[in-house]
Structure 1
């Protein structure tokens, strides 16, 4: 580990109504440096109320304290092709090893008559929620559904803002990504709980989440005060791990494989991991993945600086070369998540 820290970028001068182009360019330049050096950065001045984050945190803690059989009413096997729902401890794999976390998989709420649902696109559809507001009230999580959907909407809007800043940081038109990939983004949202408790004998767990890169374009993470996120940076040709501790009022942002692909490795998707939680308290985190449209073909951006050794597949957990795959983003994503939940890949026949 190193004492190096990740940059904190203030979006206030980018999003305020009377911001000048010079102010916006300064923020974009800070993002450019962060993406080239780390692939990770904090953002503050983002405009999302702390009350919403705190409300979701409180309700999520109550949810994870519910009996296992109650949480399993929302089991992922019931989510079908939408790939939504609850998974228990050890139910997700990273780098072919079980993670010591449980979670609730969610996304953009789409009704059965939505065109993408009608086309049976994987990862599109309804979220799995409890049957009614009355049922939520009985379980002590009144407002859980509405709070989740409010949070997804707010952070999705923030994702559009950050991607606009990233476009400017690359010398592109502000609407470059929205016009090509994210007018209708694929939004995947997770609520994770990392319990502080002994791991059952016989379950080979070493991390809360093992080393990996994110698959899509941009991840926006809210984490509680316990921490545990670690980021792998390159320093003088050596891999160095940096702590990414919680900072009140900020989100942690990182770029994913598709932005790495688009920029030819200029902005790299950075490996990261979450250490086992030994704090004595449960750790809660909220990653939202702001990804290209499921059906889009992700292509390199023209006229960016050439990067040598853009193929870093030898250092990736699955040895994949993000610059060489063919097909849609959805095909890339399904291949990845099929390794995370192999049993669901079989059930859903993706």
Structure 2
């Protein structure tokens, strides 16, 4: 019987149990719910309040302020509705969402222009970024243990240089047939880095393709109280010589009336450092990796985290 829901993994588990659970999830689905992660409900709620305040003000002044923060070279700031197109095979103008990318703070200070609604709560924003960073490092420990490596194998290559916290708003939309070829809230894609942490509020829509593009067995991943959705991303799939799966996922158009209102989510993208070498863990990795996804890397012994990220961003915007 096909899997219909993701596994739930506790971050409080001992190392052996954590490695075993993450190994199974990363090999089978590439996605799992993470519980007992240490980020309080209150902190998550405040992050969503900031997200709501950022996108609910549609005045010309607020929109202009957001647009001035755009910095595609450094992958930070505002991205407008339909500016991003995650699935180039879809005949659409772009994804029905807008977002704001936040870089790592330095000495408690933001390293980019912030709209006034975020600037007024910069301390809270920086603390939330740091909380996500710490959880991502624990997930990386779990990945290392799952591969039979030292628990600190991946962490030294992740200093959050390229990590981004992404505040996301999907505007209200009508109920749409799942078989429709029309607009999509976020097209089918896999993420770029080592792992992603996703916080969902109360409106569903996230779907994961358990066939990873080979038949379209999509399952819903609804919000689960107290849980973060975690997924393996492409750099980790390459690094692990495809022992782990970076799985296709999307945000579908509303399938019922409960999903037609604004949808908010917050993603933390954990990326390898600029100069981190992504060297696959097996000598015969070329016979193991997904040749569609990594065809351009077949001639390389390794690639840096920065090189890989820039190549993927160039294909998206």
TM-score class, shorter = 0.7 to 0.9
Map of 2:105 onto structure 1:
109
SS of the residue 1:82 aligns to: coil
Q: What is the CA-CA distance between 1:165 and the residue it aligns to?
A: 1.3
Give per-residue Cα distances to partners, 1:283-340, cap 9 Å, x unaligned.
100110111001222101258xx779634344x5xx7556555542212211211222
Alpha-carbon distance change, 80 to 195 in structure 1, aligned in 2, over 3 angstroms: closer
1:158-212, Cα deviation, whole Å (9 max, x unpaired) = 0111111111111100110023x1145521111110111469xxxx962111011
Q: Structure 1 residues 63, 238: CA separation in 2 closer, same or farther (over 3 Å shift)?
A: closer
**1:184-199 mapped onto 2 (5 Å cutoff):** 185-197=161-173
Structure 1 gaps of 5+ residues are 14-22, 115-124, 342-350
Partners of 1:228 and 1:175 lie apart in 2 by 35
- Equivalent residue runs for 1:13-162 within 5 Å: 13=13, 23-69=14-60, 70-75=62-67, 78-79=70-71, 81-96=73-88, 97=92, 98-110=94-106, 126-130=111-115, 135-136=116-117, 143-162=120-139
Partner secondary structure for residue 4 of structure 1 = coil
Seen in structure 2, the aligned counterparts of structure 1 residues 310 and 322 have a Cα distance that, compared at 3 Å, is: farther
RMSD over aligned Cα atoms: 2.8
Contact 1:100–1:207, Cα closer than 8 Å, also in 2: yes
Moved more, 286-295 or 274-283: 274-283
CA offsets, 1:68-101, max 9 Å, x none? 5313313266436433211221111112341000
Answer whether contact 2:238 2:289 (CA < 8 A) is retained. no
Q: Decide which structure has the larger Cα Rg and report it.
A: 1
CA offsets 1:235-274 (integer angstroms, 9 cap, x no match): 9x75421211110100000011111111111102111111
Residue 4 (structure 2) pairs with residue 4 (structure 1): yes
Please say if 1:211 is aligned against 2:211.
no
Offset of residue 234 of structure 1: 3.0
Mapping of residues 225-244 of structure 1, within 5 Å: 225-234=202-211, 238-244=215-221
How far is the alpha carbon of 1:127 from its aligned partner? Answer: 2.5
Q: How far apart are 1:220 and its partner, in Å?
A: 0.5
2:307 aligned residue: 331
Q: Which runs of 5+ in 2 are unaligned?
A: 176-180
CA contact (8 A) 1:79 1:128 kept: no
Does the CA contact (< 8 Å) of 1:257 and 1:322 recur in 2? no
Bigger helix fraction: 1
TM value normalised by structure 2 = 0.85
Q: How far apart are 1:52 and its partner, in Å?
A: 0.7
- Counterpart for residue 118 of structure 1: none
